Amino acid sequence: MAGASRGESRGIAVVGASLGGLRAAEQLRAAGWHGAITVFGDEPHLPYNRPPLSKAVLAGHALAAGTELRRRPSVEDVEWRLGSAVTAADLTARTLTLTDGSVHMYEGLVAATGVRPRRLPMPGGPPRHVVRTLEDSTALAAGLAAGARVSVIGSGFIGCEVAATARTAGCAVTVVAPETEPMASALGPHLARALRLRHEARGVRFHMGRLATELTPEGCVLDDGTELRADLIVEAIGSLPNTEWLAATPGLDLTDGILCDAHLRIGGLPHAVAVGDVARFPNPRYGPVPRRVEHWSVPGDTARHAARTLVAALTGTP
Ligand SMILES: Cc1cc2nc3c(=O)[nH]c(=O)nc-3n(C[C@H](O)[C@H](O)[C@H](O)COP(=O)(O)OP(=O)(O)OC[C@H]3O[C@@H](n4cnc5c(N)ncnc54)[C@H](O)[C@@H]3O)c2cc1C
């Protein structure tokens, strides 16, 4: 932090300006926090909805601008610091360091930094796409011309949704994944098989039980030697939690997300909580082992709980 400018204390800092960050700000107000709230987001946009990115926006049926999430009047006075990534945090001194080197002091912290796409570990290939941001979705949509050959690597939710959207656009679509059936872990074998048959009836070709081992300018090579010709590749092989900005904080468990207690507190600290995709927490619905859940409803649910935890700690109320 040498040479860094030191800002004044600004109430509660929320890191991540997406669904979780927005819901956290709203729930902090609902929980009775009247002080300042500053939300830092590395994307240039106000919070927007991601589900349409693999559906209506990708299909060209919805405008990117239409995905912006409605903000409740209670968060009108929230300060949005967009295009402003947090690079480090000191949870003891209660400071955040931003990309420009400036330092922001806070009283309470909400971590809402979500996840990013996991990438295939090899170089090369035809144009490669992922779908996480508005820019990702519009870039991929531009490549989904009728007749384009699209190889989707990964057969989870996003892989299957992209395959369906690309096929509807008239692309020749193949899906490659190591599992026996698409989305088998989420749906179970019978429903997963039915899903595959439905995709196949619409013309999607599957290479299940296979890995992509090499990317070439012409497409990809599978572990059985099959060469798939593709004009573009979509990498849909899962996600990685955005926790690097907390890596220097001693005592935190950042294995697959930020480990929280049942009140969403980070590292047992009363003034730091996590919400949304990045939070790994014990949830009686799924058993005693803490886990992350990447589902649209989780940022809202965790924000409600985390906001109560944080406001109670900062105001000294039960
Ligand atoms: C294509 C797609 C389709 C989906 N479809 C569905 C669906 O149909 N149903 C469903 O239930 N769920 C769906 N989801 C999942 C749902 O969108 C997520 O669960 C939700 O967006 C999680 O919100 P979040 O705020 O926790 O994380 P994110 O939305 O990932 O937001 C985190 C934000 O923090 C920012 N950030 C990260 N690091 C930093 C940093 N150091 N400093 C500042 N900012 C940072 C990120 O850039 C991002 O803007 C979909 C997701 C995607 C990508």
Backbone angles phi, psi at 127, to 5 degrees: -50, 135
Separation of alpha carbons 163 and 207, rounded Å: 13
Spell out the domains of the chain, with CATH numbers in brackets.
Answer: 6-116+239-315 (3.50.50.60), 119-235 (3.50.50.60)
CB 150 within 8 A of CB 171: yes
CB 250 within 8 A of CB 273: no
Q: Answer yes or no: is the C-beta of 42 below 6 A from any ligand 1 atom.
A: yes
> Of the residues 14, 18, 109, 292, which should be mutated to test ligand 1's pocket, given the most ligand atoms within 8 Å of the CB?
18
Q: Separation of 308 CA from ligand 1 center, angstroms?
A: 22
Instruction: List pLDDT tens digits, range 266-307.
Output: 999 999 999 999 999 998 887 889 999 999 999 999 999 999
Instruction: List pLDDT tens digits, range 188-234.
Output: 999 999 999 999 999 999 999 999 999 999 999 999 999 999 999 99
* Ligand 1 atom index nearest CA of 245: 41
Task: Give the model's pLDDT for residue 1.
Answer: 33
pLDDT band of 9, cuts 50, 70, 90: low
> Of the residues 27, 39, 296, 304, which should be mutated to test ligand 1's pocket, given the most ligand atoms within 8 Å of the CB?
296
One-letter amino acid at 277 equals D
Q: In this model, does residue 139 exceed pLDDT 80? A: yes
Which value, to the nearest 10 degrees, does the dihedral of the CA atoms of residues 42, 162, 232, 146 take? -130
CB 41 within 8 A of CB 84: yes
> Of the residues 14, 45, 50, which should be mutated to test ligand 1's pocket, given the most ligand atoms within 8 Å of the CB?
50
